[in-house]
Structure 1
């Protein structure tokens, strides 16, 4: 399995009344995987924050495939599926797997970078574009330049 950026055990606080992983816990796992991926590629959230930039999400879609239960071990993969060079908008696809390799969910997020002082969308500094160009890409990756 490629592009795994989070591995961990499901804990009690992540379980809902139906005794499986609660819906918002999927988003939390994927956000951590995305953060880990950016850090590993040289673009940590701390580094981004030093430039007064932060990520903002416009859409988050979760497709449930199989249940995940208390104490299950999971792996989360992350790939960039779309990137717009002109305005730094992005899409990431995450896949959540149980330790036995069963794919349990697919989470897609669309977002952009925001100037956290001006509270307006912004682009990443030009010198960071090479980092973005090396992020793991999906097989159906689309680069947009308008």
Structure 2
């Protein structure tokens, strides 16, 4: 746990994550997770390599998760700070805690994002200088793949 002052704190204790709060925000306000099933969100948190929550007076107001092979790369996902609490530098501290202060700080970090580019550039993220390929979500035969980002 890291105290940020003014009642704000960061914590990477997975047991403290309020899954319902994270799911509600992501499915209602995050363009990349609209419609994500609760069970999937619960699993994404449970199986993440690391999660960090932002809290104000004990209530969750922000979140980030990372997925890694523990050796060569880390994928940063689901980063948010509730709009009511933006403008206090919480997004900067959340990304700093995840990328610079955690056990995966010396790995190659990746993310997909359509916004907050200036925030991520502060931590060394940049557009790749090589060809990046990706395989979009493929629904299983007769099923729905959902959203895994």
- What is the TM-score of this pair, normalised by structure 2? 0.31
Higher strand share: 1
**Structure possessing the higher relative contact order (Cα contacts under 8 Å, 6 or more residues apart):** 1
Give the TM-score normalised by the residue count of structure 1: 0.31
